[in-house]
A = this chain, B = another copy of it.
Amino acid sequence: MPRDATTTVSPDDYPFAHRVRVRFAETDAMAIAHHASYLPWLEEARVAFLRAIGYPYASIRADGLDFAVVEATVRYLRPARFDDELAVHVGVADPPRATFALAYLLRRGDETMATARTVHAAVAPDGSARRPPEFITDPSLRVR
C-alpha cells in the first residue's frame, strides 16, 4: 500500500469497525466536522480495535509500552456533519517493519467519507524503540 491514505474503500476488507457520532464540538464554522476531529476518531477506533483483539491499550501502557504516532494522513472525501453516525473500519496495513501501520475507512451508511492511515512505533517510556506488537503479523487482522 502506498504511504499516503490510499486504501481499499470496501468495508468488508477490514477486520473491525467502530461507530462514532459527530459531536457538535467537533464541527466548525463551515458547518462540517473540522478536519482535526478525525484523528481522535481514528484513535478511538484504534483503541476499540486493540481492546477487541485482546490488547487493551490501557494495559499496554501499564506494561510500559506506547504506540507513538509517527505519521498520520487523512484524505477527506465527503464532509461529515453534526450528529452523523460514522463507521470507522480499521485493520493492519503494512508488512511489519520497525514501525507498523493501520488503515482506516470512514463511511456514513454506504457513503465513503474518508480514508486514513496512521503509522506507529512501539516505544518504551524513555522513547527507546521496542519490538512491534505481535498482532501486526496476524493475517486475520490485516486489511485485504
Contact = CB atoms under 8 A, between A and B. Distances in A.
A34 B35 CA distance: 15
Interface stretch (A7-15, A37-45, A88-96, A135-143): A37-45
A130 to B, nearest CB: 14
A86 to B, nearest CB: 14
Interface in A50-64: 56-58, 61
A44 B69 contact: no
Interface size class of A (residues with CB under 8 A): 35 or more
A75 interface: yes
A76 B32 CA distance: 23
Contacts of A61: 29, 82
Given A35-B39, A36-B25, A5 B83 contact: no
A68 interface: yes
Contact of A29 (B24, B43, B47, B72): B24
Given A4-B73, A24-B57, 18 more contacts: A5-B71, A23-B40, A24-B28, A24-B43, A24-B47, A25-B40, A25-B43, A28-B29, A29-B81, A31-B31, A36-B39, A36-B40, A47-B83, A70-B77, A71-B73, A71-B76, A73-B73, A73-B74
